[in-house]
Amino acid sequence: MRDPWLTLVDSVLRPARPGLEQCLREREQHLAARRPQAEERARALAGCEARIESLRAEVFVAQDGVVTSRMTELEREWRTLSRPDRDGELMDLWARVAPPSWIDRKRWRDSDPAVQVEAAIALAADVEGVEAAEAAIDSLRAALAPWGTPFGPRIRWCASEQDAELTPGLFAGPLREACEALAGGNIASIAFERAQHLRQDVHEAARVRFPRRPLLARDLAHAAFVDFLWRAALAARANPVTPLHELWKTGYVLSAIDPSGVTVEIPPL
């Protein structure tokens, strides 16, 4: 039982992304096509700001406090220029790299606008992995339902690093049930000892793999601990830890859970 968890540690935050090379080529073509438009917008924005400053200077010189309709028009122009249609621009790229079944679901939209292109490329490069991760999340929601774990249906994909420790809350019910099933049995002390050893081994391996993610390391270790005890006590029943193990195998991790749903971290390219 130790080896599968230590093998899993090497998979976490490392999505397969078999389509990355093609997606990166599409990204470069997209950026090259958009570069002249971005440069033209920057020039127009700079010109607009210069005219605004000129009108402001005229108002100060006149010392009458009158703001003309021209100033209002320029401010409207500035707002338009400073807020480009990012969704529309990115949809052109998304339509080229994402499978047809994904077109109406803009998974990159929950990322910061500055990294949405990278998020779109990272997701489109790993279609099977992303779909497997979402299937694992759905299975995790169903597996935890008997314990009333609040876990909404929405899945958000976000290209930002957010270290989080979630498994103690997720598996509080299953852990309690496994411990109750073991209580008083002859194998209880042995099972707890071995589970603790597994937790320690996984934690140490995870700390080495991602030293800047101590909470994630603890999450992996705690999940391994619960998994061992569940198998020792309730092996005949479906293991609630298995869906999370399957999610981690795809390379993705959960960074937040709330009543509306979950946030999945998109590792950098």
The amino acid that residue 70 corresponds to is: R
Regarding whether 113 and 196 lie in a shared domain, the answer is no
Instruction: Look at residue 33 in the predicted model and tell me its pLDDT.
Output: 79
What does pLDDT average to in each consecutive run of 10 residues of the chain (269 residues)? Answer: 88 97 94 74 75 77 65 72 64 92 93 93 98 98 91 93 94 95 80 95 97 97 97 95 98 95 96
Cα–Cα distance for residue pair 122/85, rounded to 1 Å: 21
Cα–Cα distance for residue pair 100/126, rounded to 1 Å: 14
Phi and psi angles of residue 125, each rounded to the nearest 5 degrees, phi first: -75, -10
Instruction: Look at residue 185 in the predicted model and tell me its pLDDT.
Output: 66
Among 91, 125, 159, which residue terminates a domain?
A: 125
Instruction: Look at residue 48 in the predicted model and tell me its pLDDT.
Output: 72
Cα–Cα distance for residue pair 83/37, rounded to 1 Å: 13
Among 68, 98, 125, which residue terminates a domain?
A: 125
Instruction: Look at residue 56 in the predicted model and tell me its pLDDT.
Output: 77
Regarding whether 224 and 118 lie in a shared domain, the answer is no
Cα–Cα distance for residue pair 120/74, rounded to 1 Å: 34
Instruction: Look at residue 26 in the predicted model and tell me its pLDDT.
Output: 94
The CA-CA-CA angle for residues 200, 201, 202, to 5°, reads 95
Among 93, 125, 157, which residue terminates a domain?
A: 125
Question: How far does Cα 225 stand from its chain's mean position?
Answer: 25
Regarding whether 155 and 96 lie in a shared domain, the answer is no
Instruction: Look at residue 109 in the predicted model and tell me its pLDDT.
Output: 92
Regarding whether 50 and 12 lie in a shared domain, the answer is no
Instruction: Look at residue 75 in the predicted model and tell me its pLDDT.
Output: 75
Instruction: Look at residue 249 in the predicted model and tell me its pLDDT.
Output: 97
Q: Are 159 and 115 in contact (CB under 8 A)?
A: yes
Regarding whether 154 and 82 lie in a shared domain, the answer is no
Which neighbouring-strand residues pair with 264?
A: 157, 254
Predicted TM-score of the model (pTM): 0.82
Regarding whether 49 and 7 lie in a shared domain, the answer is no
Instruction: Look at residue 77 in the predicted model and tell me its pLDDT.
Output: 67
Regarding whether 261 and 134 lie in a shared domain, the answer is yes
Regarding whether 31 and 72 lie in a shared domain, the answer is yes
* Cα separations in angstroms, 75 against 72, 79, 200: 5, 6, 60
Regarding whether 104 and 178 lie in a shared domain, the answer is no
Q: Are 123 and 252 in contact (CB under 8 A)?
A: no
Regarding whether 177 and 57 lie in a shared domain, the answer is no
Domain that holds residue 72: 20-125
Instruction: Look at residue 188 in the predicted model and tell me its pLDDT.
Output: 82
- Overall domain count for the chain: 2
Regarding whether 225 and 197 lie in a shared domain, the answer is yes
Instruction: Look at residue 88 in the predicted model and tell me its pLDDT.
Output: 54
Regarding whether 217 and 137 lie in a shared domain, the answer is yes
Query: How many CB atoms sit inside 10 A of residue 261's CB?
Result: 16
Instruction: Look at residue 153 in the predicted model and tell me its pLDDT.
Output: 92
